[in-house]
Amino acid sequence: MRENLFSGVVNSILTVLSVAFVIWALIGVLGWAVAPTWEATNLRDCQDILAGHHGACWGVVNDRWQQLLFGFYPKDLYWRPILAFVLLFIAMIPVLFNMITRRMNWVLLLATLGVAVATRGGMVALVIGLVLLAGAALIAVQLFATRGDDRAEQIAAGAKRLPNPLIFTMLFPFIAPWLLWCSSLAWSGRASARASVPAGWRVLPPSWKHRLPRLRPKSPR
């Protein structure tokens, strides 16, 4: 390290200047980041708390972190982008990590899908989710109960292997758009339909309005 950083006058000067710059930058960033603004609800509150000093307005982040993460995605559908984000990492595991076994990949995938389905509500979803979780638990038991050498001997003897997890990796580019966009398009379509009912009601002939009581827009309270 001494040869690389202090091998000469020029290198020594550059090293000292670099260390001084890093310290100066850290002091500035920490002074900005450590600001007592978590209880603020808007920018004006942050300005009042800081009293002219520079600092981060964490109150806005604390109040709108969901909007920062999900944008204007419907709140009742937050589970879709969360599930897509988790499945992205599971789909990347067979490509990036060779030490993760095939069975471990399927344990992670089945467990994630099981939790996602079981928490959707309804008896059918609960049963399907429990079945997926049971499959993940069964594979996990077999995984931890069998040593790597014994498993290699079983495979050499003709034991059946689980499907290659790369299959899910190849399917994920088609699953993610469905999770993210199909739901939002359907939601926006329902919202547009609801918004168009009052406008359409106004242009209907009087003789039709009494025949369509279900479409009558509710008056705001």
pTM, 2 dp: 0.60
Domain ranges of the chain: 2-63, 75-186
DSSP letter at 201? H
CA nearest neighbour of 116 among 133, 97, 99: 133
Q: Give phi and psi for 115, each to the nearest 5.
A: -65, -40
Query: Cβ contacts of residue 200 below 8 Å, gap of 6+?
Result: 215
Quote the CA–CA distance of 35 and 54 in Å, as a whole number: 9
Query: Cβ contacts of residue 163 below 8 Å, gap of 6+?
Result: 106
**Count of all residues that appear for the chain in the document:** 221
Quote the CA–CA distance of 94 and 101 in Å, as a whole number: 8
pLDDT, tens digit only, all 221 positions of the chain = 666 666 777 788 888 899 999 999 988 888 778 777 777 777 777 777 777 777 777 777 877 788 888 888 888 888 888 999 999 999 998 888 877 788 888 899 999 999 988 888 888 889 999 999 999 999 888 877 776 666 566 666 556 667 888 899 999 999 888 888 875 554 554 544 444 445 444 544 555 455 555 445 455 55
Strands of 36-107 (E only): list them.
none
